[in-house]
Structure 1
Amino acid sequence: MDFTPSEEQSAAQGLAARIFGDLSTHERLTAAGTGTDAELWKELCAAGLPAAVEDIGLLGLVLLLEEQGRTTAQVPFAVTCVYGLLAVAEHGTAEQRERLLPGLRDGTAVATGAFPARGRVHLAEDGALYGSVPWVPWLRDATHVLVADTDLALWIVEASAPGAEGRAPGVTVDPVETTAPWSAGRLVLDGVRGERLGNGPEAYAAVLATARTAFAGLQAGVCAGSLARAVHHTVTREQFGRPLSTNQGVLLRAADAHMDTEAIRVTAYEAAWRHDERRACGAQALTAAWWASEAGKRVVHAGQHLHGGTGADLDHPVHRHFLWGRQLDAYLGSGSEVLEELGLLLADSARGDAS
């Protein structure tokens, strides 16, 4: 395995770091409140970063999402790339790719996904979709939603036409405020005609593995940003005439957080690399998700604790990393849930090898 970024991946990561660093500032995030930063989204799309994901692959996307996580930038970048661009590019027909990808590339269309499936959407005998999903990330921004029915067939649902006011007939979106400001919403489908994508459970499993890998990469960035803020604080803040960073307890806590962050990053890289090499990556995606969930919350808690009393300030930038880290933990599934699924997958694989 070689996780060294290609020239194209490095260039895209550098551009993403500059745009996120310049525009996703504390002041702009404060002004955005719980909504999406529309100007930042336009800038990212104008720079061609969503469109570049088709060329730089999932590993490239993980690198870009690390940069988003470092700044907790409030844009629907991950969901549009995972549930829109990559899902359609890898599982769509030629006609679907020609029709849907241009809008997803230039940002006029925004996609999200009701993942993982919990059996909440069903396909009726008349071919229409019914059901509700309690919360879907960035749903309030979405023009298209990828849902899975009870048979794990994938359906693209048009939530609204790009640039149009209001929702498509049969689609209801109720705003939901989550731990992190992800412009989430409750999705209700009442007799909606969806557009089939891919070949059922196999496509669903592939998109789910891609999503887990991508959001693990986002968590790696969130943790790296939290830790960087904690390091800066402990190096510059003095107590009893010396920096906080010279205390052994502080050093050990920061070191543990660094190792956890690196574990999230390297497992996400491995899953993404295997995806791009067209190798089985379901177990690796679950491993990355487990690290992102279990270790991620440890890191963002450490980031706050290392700030001392300052970390309790809800307006401090480090608090955003805490909120994002906890939200990603919830979105990926608790560590025990992910570990159970990974164990079942490995057991099934071992039984298959034995037979």
Structure 2
Amino acid sequence: MDFTRDEGQDAVAEVVVSVLEREQARDFELWPILVDSGLLSVALPERFGGDGMGLSEISVMLTELATDAVAVPALPTLGLALPPLLAGLPDSVAERVFPEVASGAILTVALSEPGAPFVDKPSTTAVVDGDSVIVTGAKIAVPYAERARWLLIPTDTGLALVDAGADGLTITPTPTSGGIPEAGVRLDGVRIPAEQLIPDGLDRLHRTAIAAIGSVADGLLRGALVLTAEHLRTRHQFNRPLAEFQAVAQQIADLYVVSRTLHAAAVSANWALAQDAEIAATPEHRERTDDDLDVLAYTVASELPAAMQKCHHLHGGIGVDVTHPMHRYFSQAKDIARWLGGASFRLDRLGARCSST
């Protein structure tokens, strides 16, 4: 087991860091710049003009972007939607979708239904009707739904890839705590070609989604910790840097431990998912990977918001000012913890896994 980044991962990280050092934008204005950098093509197959890389490179990209709390649709497009599409989309559909992704088209995923976060038994239905499939149901907390070109909708028979302009699709914006827009989505008899339904893709979607969210969480906490440590080093009280006070030093040390724990959990889960198909198909590897993913999901949902709250506390009143970057980290952390279903939900799932082995 070796978590050291390879040359491909290092190259992706260097491009992201270079873009962030060169550009001031940290919101949607950065998206076209990321498109021009070629980063959106990293994981696309070479036959569709991509670089043919994989989950490991996506993970590195998401982590590096999150260290600056960048509010762009990289997570829903590359981390949530793209991996299951790469695994299950037929070439006849992929040749239309993937080139659009490389050009900046946004993908998103509807992970949750009302009262059911990360729903594993969707009430949304997909009924075959000749060479079409009719999709009916409701989803909540869908990131970037209003700006998406395609929406990946979990149904009772698979993952349905729905065009954002399809008849019967209603998108209603909902408020969030951060800079990432969300919406409720209703599908009233939306008709899609049968080839745009991926059977048995929900399990893979959930596994790669948890890994991608963990990568973002890793970057968010790392960036917030650097920001907080610098504030404590340069901010003085009673003619001394705040970092020299024992109580403050203990709190920043606790944050460092949480950050390293989250990093280990995120890297381990992404490494396990990125193993070649022969290894990944073995029951033993799959079981260990699912263990890692459940631990990662609980760690993000329980530890990340609390750590961000402590970073806010160490910043004093400065951190809650919207002109200060700290609020971006905290807001995004709360949103992704909510996407996962929250700490109690994740603890129940982790406990069920422990009690069944």
User: Fold conserved (TM > 0.5)?
Assistant: yes
Partner-residue secondary structure (3-state), 1:306: helix
Instruction: Give the counterpart of 1:46 among 36, 42, 64.
Output: 36
Q: Would you say the 8 A contact 1:261–1:295 is kept in 2? A: no
State the one-letter code of the partner of 1:316: H
Matching of residues 64-79 of structure 1 within 5 Å = 64-79=61-76
How much has 1:302 moved relative to structure 2?
A: 1.3
State the one-letter code of the partner of 2:258: D
Partner-residue secondary structure (3-state), 1:148: strand
Deviation readout 1:144-180 (Å, 9 max, x if unpaired): 111111x2511111113xxxxxxx3111111122112
2:114 corresponds in structure 1 to: none
Partner-residue secondary structure (3-state), 2:170: strand
Deviation readout 1:231-268 (Å, 9 max, x if unpaired): 11110011111100011111111111111111111111
CA distance in 2, matches of 1:83, 1:193: 23
Percent identical pairs in the alignment equals 27
1:321 corresponds in structure 2 to: 329
Deviation readout 1:22-48 (Å, 9 max, x if unpaired): 33x4xx45xxxxxx51x4111111211
Q: Would you say the 8 A contact 1:21–1:71 is kept in 2? A: no
How much has 1:120 moved relative to structure 2?
A: 4.4
Q: Which moved more, 1:63-72 or 1:240-249?
A: 63-72
Tell me if 1:297 matches 2:294. Answer: no
Matching of residues 116-131 of structure 1 within 5 Å = 116-117=118-119, 119-124=122-127, 126=129, 127-131=133-137
CA change 1:99–1:309 in 2 (3 A) is closer
State the one-letter code of the partner of 1:105: A
Deviation readout 1:292-351 (Å, 9 max, x if unpaired): 111111221111111112223243211111111111111122122112112323444x2x
State the one-letter code of the partner of 1:2: D
CA distance in 1, matches of 2:299, 2:313: 20
State the one-letter code of the partner of 1:310: I
1:220 corresponds in structure 2 to: 218
1:32 corresponds in structure 2 to: none
Q: Which moved more, 1:60-69 or 1:111-120?
A: 111-120
CA distance in 2, matches of 1:284, 1:220: 15
Instruction: Give the counterpart of 1:251 among 249, 252, 269.
Output: 249
Query: Root-mean-square deviation (CA), in Å?
Result: 1.9
CA distance in 1, matches of 2:316, 2:80: 39
CA distance in 2, matches of 1:289, 1:244: 33
5+ long unaligned stretches in structure 1: 30-35, 161-167, 351-355
CA distance in 2, matches of 1:85, 1:309: 39
CA distance in 2, matches of 1:138, 1:177: 12
5+ long unaligned stretches in structure 2: 45-51, 112-117, 281-285
State the one-letter code of the partner of 1:11: A
2:161 corresponds in structure 1 to: 156
Partner-residue secondary structure (3-state), 2:72: coil
Matching of residues 44-123 of structure 1 within 5 Å = 44-54=34-44, 55-107=52-104, 109-115=105-111, 116-117=118-119, 119-123=122-126
CA change 1:83–1:224 in 2 (3 A) is closer
Partner-residue secondary structure (3-state), 1:71: coil
CA distance in 1, matches of 2:82, 2:266: 19
How much has 1:124 moved relative to structure 2?
A: 4.5
TM-score normalised to the size of structure 2?
A: 0.86
2:349 corresponds in structure 1 to: 341
Partner-residue secondary structure (3-state), 1:13: helix
Partner-residue secondary structure (3-state), 1:174: strand
Q: Would you say the 8 A contact 1:140–1:185 is kept in 2? A: yes
